[in-house]
Amino acid sequence: QRLTLCSLIVRGDALAKGQYRLEFKAPNYATVVIPEVKFPAGKFTVQLDIRMKRVGGCIRGVVVNRDGKPVSGAEVILRAIGKSQSATKQVQTQLTKKDGSFQFDALREGNYILQVMPDARIVTSSMQIVKVIAGETVSARMTVQMRKEQPIVKIQLLRADGCTPIARTRVRISLRMIYPERRYGASATLTTDAHGRCFMPLRKEPAVYRAYLTFAGWCILKLVDARANKMPEVKVIVPSEPQVICRIKAPDNTLIPGGVYIHLYAGDDLGWENIGSPQEGIMRIAGLLPGNYKLAVTPIATYSYSEYQHARIFPAVEVKISDEQTGTVDVTLSLPRCGTLRGKVLMVKNGHERPLQFANVQLERIDGDSGQLFFATASRNDGSFTFTTIPIGDYKLTVRHTACEETQMRVTVTDKPDNRNSQFVTIRLKYVGLGTIVGRVIDSAGTSVANATVIIRRWDERAERQYQVSSTRTDAQGAFQCAGLRPGRYIIEIITDDGNGTSVDKIIVRGDRTTDVGAVRLPQPSIILGKVTANDESIL
């Protein structure tokens, strides 16, 4: 057994006369307790020799990139391996220091897994298995692959005390550029680590952003200045009281727990921002600068808010924030009478029906005074779909799928309990299949043209216009193929790298068939000859 001798010198002028209890503690050592020690009055010096038994092991390591340079701020997780060798338990977590080092002390004997967690800087996780022996120190060197250097903002979420991290929490971050110009940035849903951190990529150019952070029933606005620093660090402290508390209520004055989105208008040309769903019918908002704002609520089937389309059904509420404000502004957003529409999409092929996944299902309000109101969703793997919190009324239900004929029907959404059974619709789509166009591109001399761009456009009979659906390039033999096309009329356009090109119209594609357009000959390229002259030839 390893023993360590340490000495303690006690000077009488630092302690009053009396009886004391002494405890000696150190990482990786058993605590030594002397329950009763008497010190005399006056000045004196007593030397105590204490033998401490080393009981714990230590893991000391460093995280470096592939060039051998230390990586600071990386999250290192230590997990203990159980007796079954398959079960692991997280023991500790640390962030590496500026020199990339980390250290775990007072560990029991056994096998452990060291893991460096990936983030916006680290591409892949690095993992090692180490064996800890009591009284010994194990060294570990962990190499990680870093992403190419790009601007990243490091965001840390902290509770009201400014110290406690909001760990392992999903947070949706939306960045909106407000300087040097106003435009949309990037959005992502991330999960904070054990220290409340998450990393969000930025655009390359220096700019100032407004960040919307939505998590656990909170929405906090924060300015991110990335002009001077390409990797700014932002601490977001969640206040004990929000600036605005938003309650979502039904017509019967009860809170609506979910199934809706809240939208915020900050009074500028960036427009409305979806700030997420409330928690138990309540959304808390903080970080608002003094000014006038608007809040609105829509069903979750409507991701973005438009006053032109939605204001008549989902009116906005104005909120004013001033410098003198001390309390919380309480806002109630009310939904109209709403119902739920459920259904199932079936594909009919050769007389057999089966559930159809990924069908596009759209509801369009057909009341004359409600404005343009759309809701959209997709069928699940069992063909089912659900529209929740939909204002009652008459709608046109349109269901589309690339391999099937489009189907439309009229439905009525109601909130009456005795009509719930009628709020289920079954949609049957006739399978028509998908076709393929193949062909070959040759020049005026009959030679195959490689690497030419082939653009596939579909002709819309209703709108009497064409729109691009796909594009591809020819191979070394000049051949091309484009699959997954709905039956109908198509136009192909061929363009070479030197600008020469042609098009073929009225190509009819049928389901589950291949349409061969044969060899498409490019016209002979035109040649333009000219001469440039100048009075002052020195500028040429």
Q: Which two three-digit tokens encode residue 467?
A: 């729109």
539 belongs to a structural domain:
no
How far apart CA 490 and CA 467 sit, in angstroms, is 9
- CATH no. for residue 348? 2.60.40.10
Q: Which two three-digit tokens encode residue 428?
A: 């049957």
Check residue 13 and give its pLDDT: 62
With 60 as the cut, is the pLDDT of residue 369 above it?
no
425 belongs to a structural domain:
yes
Comparing CA positions, the residue from 194, 157, 151 lying closest to residue 173 is 157
Which domain, by its residues, includes 379? 338-430
Residues 416 and 441 in one domain: no
Greatest mean pLDDT among 39-48, 170-179, 455-464: 170-179
Residues 46 and 122 in one domain: no
With 60 as the cut, is the pLDDT of residue 300 above it?
yes
262 belongs to a structural domain:
yes
304: amino acid identity, one letter: S
Residues 258 and 289 in one domain: yes
533 belongs to a structural domain:
no
With 50 as the cut, is the pLDDT of residue 334 above it?
yes
How far apart CA 15 and CA 41 sit, in angstroms, is 9
- Among candidate residues 409, 430, 451, the one where a domain is terminated: 430
Residues 344 and 388 in one domain: yes
441: amino acid identity, one letter: V
- CATH no. for residue 65? 2.60.40.1120
Residues 97 and 122 in one domain: yes
Check residue 11 and give its pLDDT: 63
Check residue 6 and give its pLDDT: 61
**437-467 pLDDT tens trace:** 999 999 888 899 999 999 999 988 777 788 8
Confidence of residue 84 (pLDDT cuts 50, 70, 90): low
Residues 249 and 294 in one domain: yes
Mean pLDDT estimate for the chain: 86
- Among candidate residues 118, 144, 170, the one where a domain is terminated: 144
Residues 47 and 63 in one domain: no
With 70 as the cut, is the pLDDT of residue 540 above it?
no
Residues 83 and 127 in one domain: yes
Which residues lie below 8 Å from residue 225, measured CB to CB, with a gap of 6+? Answer: 208, 232
Q: Which residue has the tokens 């500026």?
A: 98
Residues 375 and 399 in one domain: yes
Report DSSP state, residue 308. Answer: H
534 belongs to a structural domain:
no
532 belongs to a structural domain:
no
535 belongs to a structural domain:
no
Q: Which two three-digit tokens encode residue 368?
A: 């004359």
341: amino acid identity, one letter: L
Cα of 482 vs its chain's centroid, Å = 32
Q: What count of other Cβ atoms lies within 10 Å of the Cβ of residue 123? A: 12
- Among candidate residues 282, 301, 334, the one where a domain is terminated: 334
Residues 135 and 157 in one domain: no
Count how many domains the chain has.
6
Residues 190 and 219 in one domain: yes
